[in-house]
């Protein structure tokens, strides 16, 4: 199951996993999500991360799950003094509480498969990013949840992926906030991050990749 698979890194993850996995693409129904599912022969799964009370009924049919990838997230560019409490609530609701709620509801299915939970975090989950106050806080919290899950569920593999800046629509919004021209070649491609994430998922059974840290290569391409 992949959340946030309608575009960007989420659809790149779906592309990379489609040859070897049966895909559940979780998220709010949308034409973009339907298009990814149709292209890959995947199943869409209606999950609203902002409504944790709805999740139990939605995921109840799933009895075994090999991999859960938390990729969905929101970001509101802004420094601390520019931020609003409503933005903090929304960021935490989707990026943290939604991920926690979905994981808790799927724990029995993950345990049954001795599965793998992957959190697409961020460099902002290791070092604070200027201009991304609420997003940074949410990613630190998500990292803490991943570490706790790993400690408390020894039959599961739990991986936090911390990419640098990726060439996505979210990145374009951030660059616009910074007042700079958007140059995709300066950032990681979604396909690169997806490939390295899948490498962690496909690691041999005796290996447990705790963290993957990826940064753009500054050398000319």
Residue 1: partners with Cβ closer than 8 Å, 6 or more residues away = 23, 24, 25, 26, 45, 62, 65, 67, 68, 69, 106
Catalytic positions, written as ranges = 135
- Output the CATH code of domain 2-204: 3.40.50.720
Tens-place pLDDT, residues 150-169: 999 999 999 999 998 887 77
Helix and strand counts by DSSP (H, E) for the chain: 8, 7
Compute CA 155 distance to the chain's CA centroid, rounded to the nearest angstrom. Answer: 21
Burial environment of residue 157 by CB neighbours within 10 A (0 to 12, 13 to 18, 19 or more):
buried
List pLDDT tens digits, range 59-69: 999 999 999 99
How high is the pLDDT of residue 174?
75
Confidence of residue 180 (pLDDT cuts 50, 70, 90): confident
| Confidence at residue 221, expressed as pLDDT on a 0 to 100 scale | 54
Provide mean pLDDT across the span 96-110: 98
Q: What percent of the chain has a predicted confidence (pLDDT) above 70?
A: 99
Q: How far apart are CA 102 and CA 47, in angstroms?
A: 9
Residue 182: which residues within 8 A CB-CB, separation 6 or more? 171, 172, 175, 176
Under DSSP, is residue 69 helix (H, G, I), strand (E, B) or coil? Answer: strand
| DSSP label at residue 188 | B
Q: What is the largest CA-CA distance in the chain?
A: 50
What mean pLDDT, rounded, does the chain reach? 93
Contact 4, 71 (CB under 8 A): yes
Q: pTM for the full model?
A: 0.93
Tokens representing residue 200 in the block: 């962690």
Mean pLDDT of 173-189: 78
């Amino acid at each position: 199951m992949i959340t946030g698979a309608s575009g960007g890194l989420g659809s790149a993850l779906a592309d990379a996993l489609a040859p070897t996995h049966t895909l559940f693409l979780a998220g709010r129904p949308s034409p973009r999500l339907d298009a990814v599912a149709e292209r890959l022969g995947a199943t869409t799964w209606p999950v609203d991360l902002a409504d944790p009370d709805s999740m139990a009924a939605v995921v109840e049919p799933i009895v075994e799950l090999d991999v859960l990838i938390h990729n969905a997230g929101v970001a509101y560019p802004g420094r601390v003094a520019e931020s609003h409490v409503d933005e903090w609530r929304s960021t935490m609701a989707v990026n943290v509480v939604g991920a926690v709620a979905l994981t808790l509801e799927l724990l029995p299915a993950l345990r049954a498969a001795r599965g793998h939970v992957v959190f697409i975090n961020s460099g902002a989950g290791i070092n604070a990013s200027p201009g991304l106050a609420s997003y940074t806080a949410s990613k630190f919290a998500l990292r803490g949840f991943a570490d706790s899950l790993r400690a408390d569920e020894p039959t599961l593999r739990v991986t936090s992926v911390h990419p640098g800046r990726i060439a996505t629509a979210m990145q374009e919004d951030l660059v616009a906030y910074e007042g700079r021209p958007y140059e995709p070649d300066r950032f990681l491609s979604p396909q690169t991050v997806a490939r390295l994430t899948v490498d962690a998922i496909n690691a041999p059974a005796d290996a447990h990749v705790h963290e993957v840290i990826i940064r753009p290569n500054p050398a000319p391409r």
